[in-house]
Copies of this chain bind each other. A is one copy, B any other.
């Protein structure tokens, strides 16, 4: 009989879910068990973490979800990590944010956060302070949120004449659609001529 290693699976799931976390319900569904059992499994993982001081992560329960987080004791090192970034490069968060703005400008912070799934205040600050983006207006509607766009410095920096020169994104949806459709059509076509 195959033994399912719940701890291992749970750790994988929580790890990949990141800051989003997973609810007990989601976990139960994915693991195909009931919530009581899911809860037990979580408790087991928690205990394993607690008793093994070599772990640097813990299980926390936040806003109805379970997620992994770093151990508080290690905070000083995380601080050093944040402080030390080779100041010459942008963090991935900043690069992601910049990409979204470059391709979707003008865009509000809320829309960016919608795409990234995480708070984006800091990357925006960084990008504004590096003059790669700027506020280009206000959105219609309530709140009249700021709209962000790229700057002339952005173009200079990346050696572009205009934003139109940005490499095309894979017209993902559309392309895949056409391709899939063609494949599907062909598959069925084969079935037909074969029948």
Contact = CB atoms under 8 A, between A and B. Distances in A.
Which interface residue of A5, A12, A130, A194 has the most chain B CB atoms within 10 A? A12
B169 A11 contact: no
B194 A193 contact: no
B12 A129 contact: no
Interface in A1-33: 5, 7-13, 15-20, 22, 26, 29-31
Interface string A70-91: 1101100110110010101001
B167 A128 contact: yes
Contacts of A74: 8-9, 12-13
Taking residues whose C-beta sits less than 8 angstroms from the other chain, chain A's interface range is 35 or more
A194 B190 contact: no
Nearest to A18: B18
A126 interface: yes
